[in-house]
Amino acid sequence: MLDDEIKYSILFVDDEQTNLNVFQTTFKWYYNVFVAISAKEGMEILQKEKIDMIITDQRMPEMTGVEFLKKIIPEYPDLVRIIITAYSDMEAIAYAINEAGIYQYIQKPWDADEMRHILQKAFVSYQLHLDNRKLITDLEGANKSLKEANEHLEAKVMARTGEVLAQKAEIELKSQKITSSINYAKRIQDAMLPRLPAMQRAFHDLFVLFKPRDIVSGDFYWFHEEQHLKIIAAVDCTGHGVPGAFMSLVGQQALNRIVRQNGITEPDLILNELHLEIRSMLKQEQTENQDGMDVSICLYDKKEKTLQFSGAKNPLVYVKNKEIIQIKGDKHAIGGKQKEEKRIFAKHTIPIDGPTNFYIFSDGYQDQFGGVDDRKFMISNMRDLLLEIHEEPIDLQNKLLDDTINHWKKNTKQLDDILVIGFKIG
């Protein structure tokens, strides 16, 4: 429960009784849980009970989750809405957000800890929404009082004041619409990122330090697992903010096609294909577009007990037997201007014959300005820090990296997106 004085109410709608039982058993201690086996039964409960959040399955025989939410939104506009489904793709996510205004799109099978975290975040957002609405009401009251107190001002002053306020309101409205659109884009971008619990189950000891400079990010991380192979990547796209976020979606879709559809798993071959795809998708041979991305990608072969690495500009750093080693990425990025006839990326193979800590990252951490002399943190200091903390528990490593860069940049604005992934094998 988020607050000792508040116990929120959740309505869970699913056409499978087993799912209803599991959800009710898991969350009844934290929330007032109501369950319904159909959209019709859900609407009956809504008429009787005060519900704060509704979670609905998308694929139900009589009415889909989106259709159900669209039907009840006019009467219950403030409900926190979540879609849960066995299928997930960008088109379905965008459709659910557009049509039903959902807060989150969750793929089955859901993990209890991950679900609890999502619910907590959703209710914090919900409470902020209620508080903001009250604040707006108070501000409207204050504005009304101010208007009454100033009615005696001269007509010319009042006219000018009205004009300024109108301009201010117009600017604020435009700013609000832009921010809302970017927040909407963030929900799509977050939904496209791999689920951290799945990555942690695959690598056991793993952390992801992800600090976008703006609301949306040009950095992203990517993960794929099949049989004894586990592939993980840290990607830094051209730009940050909205332009970088567009590139990140392009990169994610390209990686999905190369690995999941075409079955390419060798890191160097993935980068070779990714370069060709980005060049083709952005029509870089015919246009002036020079966008691209820097990538560090690793393949862990559990059967062969090896880790393969390829890098487009970005490196791999690993610590073994208290010795830190850096393997530089190739000098070329993915995409962008190509003067050479063919762009080929190298592959490096590291045997796993003992505990080894691996780190891949974008350049945002090492290039951040700060400190006493307002200079870059530098890759050398980052390597020293990783060597110093590599024996700590993985969650503590994440916190120490975060605390260090926050202290470094405390008097300086964050200049770029920051992404660091650490994992231990052996």
Distance separating alpha carbons of residues 11 and 33, to the nearest angstrom: 6
Q: In angstroms, how far is the first alpha carbon of the chain from the final one?
A: 38
DSSP 328: P
Strand-pair partners of 418:
211
Q: Give me the pLDDT at residue 309, please.
A: 98
Residue type, position 311, single letter: G
Q: Give me the pLDDT at residue 155, please.
A: 66
Scored b (16 or more CB within 10 A) or e, 400-415 reads bbeebbeebbeeeebe
Note the pLDDT tens digit of each residue in 228-265.
999 999 999 987 777 777 888 889 999 999 999 999 99
The confidence band for 121, taking pLDDT boundaries of 50, 70 and 90, is: confident
- Which residue would you say has higher pLDDT here, 91 or 233? 233
Question: Could you tell me if residue 224 is inside a domain?
Answer: yes
Judge residue 359's burial from the number of C-beta atoms within 10 Å of its C-beta, 0-12 exposed, 13-18 middle, 19 or more buried. Answer: buried
Question: Could you tell me if residue 147 is inside a domain?
Answer: no
CA angle 128, 129, 132 (to 5 degrees): 80
Q: Do residues 184 and 198 both lie within one domain?
A: no
Q: Do residues 83 and 165 both lie within one domain?
A: no
Distance separating alpha carbons of residues 387 and 382, to the nearest angstrom: 9
Q: Give me the pLDDT at residue 331, please.
A: 94
pLDDT at 3 over 50: no
Q: Do residues 182 and 211 both lie within one domain?
A: no
Note the pLDDT tens digit of each residue in 66-89.
888 888 888 888 787 777 765 556
DSSP 110: P
Q: Do residues 339 and 414 both lie within one domain?
A: yes
Question: Could you tell me if residue 138 is inside a domain?
Answer: no
- Which residue would you say has higher pLDDT here, 178 or 263? 263
Residue 22 sits in which domain range?
Answer: 9-119
Spell out where 276-394 has E strands.
292-301, 306-312, 316-320, 323-327, 334-335, 348-351, 356-361, 369-370, 375-376
pLDDT at 380 over 60: yes
pLDDT at 1 over 50: no
- Check which CATH number belongs to the domain holding 98 and give it: 3.40.50.2300
- Residues counted in the chain: 426
Q: How many domains does the chain have?
A: 3
Domain end position, chosen among 96, 119, 142: 119
Note the pLDDT tens digit of each residue in 288-345.
888 999 999 999 999 999 999 999 999 999 999 999 999 999 999 999 888 887 889 9
